[in-house]
Structure 1
Amino acid sequence: MNRPAAVAFGIMSDGIRQGTWAWGSANRVEQAPGLFVGTSVFTGKQTWVRLNADPARFQVDYDVGGSPETMQFRNMSRVIPGDLLKIGADKCVVSLLTWRLATQTDAEWEQMGCIHEAEMFLIRGLLERDGADPAKVA
């Protein structure tokens, strides 16, 4: 990405902003400090999310579920500063990872992969469009 790691981490670690790129939990609202709920664009059902951000490592673990009681660790994002990869301080690499549950069918797993690939394009668009304005990503 053509933005510094801190800017990308701002988008990845903001529960409300995540609702602009996470199709499984769009249009987020904060229900309690650090606890968010949004609506799946696929099923129309509510999806609850808690972000566990580690600013020192630019890493976010995402607990996800159909209710606050059923949330579990499901996804992780990591932003690697460009300096570490020798591509420059004004750039970074953003990774979005998920782990397959034993209960997921092949079709559900394939859908998850397609969704995350598309979400990466949305994240890139947010960074390219809004990344130059820290007020929009902070």
Structure 2
Amino acid sequence: MQDPYCHTSSILIEKSADVAFEIMSDGLKQGQWTWGSFDRSEAAPGVFVGTSVFSGKKTYVRLHVDRARLQVEYDVGGSPETMQLRNISRVIPGPQLKLSENVSVVTLMSWRLATQSDADWTQFCCIHEAEMFLIKGLLERDHPT
């Protein structure tokens, strides 16, 4: 069944979960891979702003980081006042999946708003799938073994 409400993307990273979690839980580092909020700066303590490479509009993001679970919830919106939960990322350590200690799986979950057209939702899902490859490339390139 194709889920009409939530999209998930996952990718195997040739780095430990701790290393992978850093790029998922750092609001500025995310500006290297989030096409919807690219090239980020900190607009206020804990609130980041970047620019969509598609629309050119500003996108604001607040992270709720849970290091113990290697999970991050992302509130996203066109302004600080309109931010709401849109995405959650989770990093799964390799051994939890019977893989080696030096690998992890990064998963991004996103929920569809009732206001998104089918075309907008399709683009949103494709973007998140492509971002998985950006995350993998950044981590494996910038953190050599």
Indicate whether the TM-score tops 0.5.
yes
1:53 aligns with 2:65: yes
Cα drift, residue 131 of structure 1: 2.3
> Tell me, what secondary structure is at the counterpart of 1:56?
helix
Q: What is the percent sequence identity of the aligned residues?
A: 66
Partner of 2:4: none
User: 1:130 and 1:52 mapped to 2: Cα distance?
Assistant: 25
Equivalent of residue 115 in structure 2, options 103, 110, 117: 103
TM-score by length of 2: 0.89
Distance 1:126 1:75 in 2: 20
CA distance in 1, matches of 2:143, 2:85: 28
TM-score w.r.t. the length of structure 1 is 0.94
Q: 1:101 Cα deviation (Å)?
A: 0.9
CA shift for structure 1 position 102: 1.0
Cα displacement (A) at 1:32: 1.5
Indicate the structure whose relative CO is greater, using CA pairs within 8 Å and at least 6 residues apart.
2
Name the amino acid aligned to 2:92.
I
Could you say which residue in structure 2 is the equivalent of 1:5?
A: 17
The equivalent of 1:17 in structure 2 is 29
Residue 125 of structure 2: aligned partner = 113
Paired with 2:113 and 2:63, the residues of 1 have a C-alpha distance of 19
C-alpha separation in 1, matches of 2:55 and 2:92: 33
What runs of 5+ residues in structure 1 fail to find an aligned partner?
134-138
Q: Give the SS at the match of 1:119.
A: helix
How far did 1:63 drift? Answer: 0.3
**d(CA) in 2 for partners of 1:116 and 1:73?**
16
Extract unaligned runs of 5+ from structure 2.
1-12
Which of the two has greater strand per residue?
2
Moved over 2 A (4+): none
Distance of 1:116 and 1:60 partners within structure 2? 15
Alignment of 1:1-138 (within 5 A): 1-132=13-144
